[in-house]
Copies of this chain bind each other. A is one copy, B any other.
Amino acid sequence: MRHVRHAVILAGGSGTRLWPASRRGRPKQLLPLGPDGETLIAAALERARGVAGDNVLIVTGEDMVAATHDAVPGVPVIAEPVGRNTAPAIGLAAATIAARDPDARLVVLPADQHVRDRAGLVALLARGLDELEHHDVIGTIGIRPTRPETGFGYLEIAAGAPGPVMPVVRFVEKPDRATAERYVASGHYLWNGGMFFARAQRLLRELDTHVPAIGAGVRSIVGGAAASEIYAGLPSISIDHAVMERAQGVVTIPADVGWDDIGSWAAVAELLAARGPTVAVDGSDNFVLTDDDTLVATIGVSDLVIVKAGNALLVVPKHAAQRVREVVDAVTAQGLLKYL
């Protein structure tokens, strides 16, 4: 008998990197940046359903539950009372699922990513869950790198390992440019895309081993204790630091599915066409996005990101797009909260 397959969508996020489109209570997964104009979380839900049918559970911040329900109606949501990074969120989801289905196999998918080849990714995730029928591994989807990206973590795989499921030699943090170039050239490094597969019980055991407070905390919440009291006391730590870098027998399935992180407006500009009416005189390669019918006219400027969303407008060169947080910080410091 094949065990029931589950998918967990991680839908946290603070809404700063894609400001002003993303806001407090409207982080990027709720933006209509999917390939067909759907929200990113709706696109993630399609991937999740492709591998788990209706057994999908979303974890999101308490203040985003209503907006998440609006974006993907009918999908069960559990709320983080406060943000505590991915390890407690995944732990809470795993404990919730394991309480109903102790043999559950699950995949974990971030809600805010771009995947061009959905069917290809779904097939690899299904392959990962198949692997769990035979081996109690912890697995990750390793993205074949297409550029020497310094904004991602990498996985090292053994030279010459047979596929498709390969042992991970080690996880490495975001490298500098020269290191990233070496990684990509070697062919033995993959991007850590933040997508995992494991049995729910195995994830909980790993948390018990490496960060026992999280394992105990999420079990007690599922057992009936007040999440509002317990969750805030859990360590804020990523699943990478808490489990993946420490666990034994971590495997990966290399993927070449047109995956990308949507970490800045520059990334959006790479993935999407401009949205909204535009007129450009001279200049080129500006990325323009408006959430209403505002015409954006440019003369003699190039490589700019111009985003008009709600009551705010952002103008930034693509190469500086990762600095949006500085604007959000400045707006916060000036107390202009209605713009956040």
List residues of chain A with CB under 8 Å of any chain B CB: 20, 277, 279, 281-282, 290, 292-301, 304, 306, 308, 311-317, 320, 323-324, 326-327, 330-331, 334, 336, 339
Contacts and interface: CB of A to CB of B under 8 A. Distances in A.
B300 A312 contact: no
A295 B339 contact: yes
Given A300-B320, A323-B300, A313 B336 contact: no
Contact of A315 (B304, B320, B326, B327): B304
Most interface-central of A279, A301, A304, A320 (chain B CB within 10 A): A279
Contacts of A306: 313, 315
User: In the complex this chain forms, how many copies of it are found?
Assistant: 2
Nearest to A312: B295
Contact of A279 (B295, B298, B299, B327): B327
Contacts of A299: 314-317, 320, 323-324, 326-327
A300 to B, nearest CB: 4
Contact of A296 (B313, B320, B324): B313
Given A316-B299, A316-B301, A334 B279 contact: yes
B315 A281 contact: no
A336 B320 CA distance: 32
Nearest to A327: B297
Nearest to A314: B297
A243 to B, nearest CB: 36
Nearest to A330: B279
A156 B192 CA distance: 74
A276 to B, nearest CB: 10
A292 B292 CA distance: 15
Shortest 3 CB-CB contacts between residues of A and residues of B: A299-B316, A295-B312, A300-B320
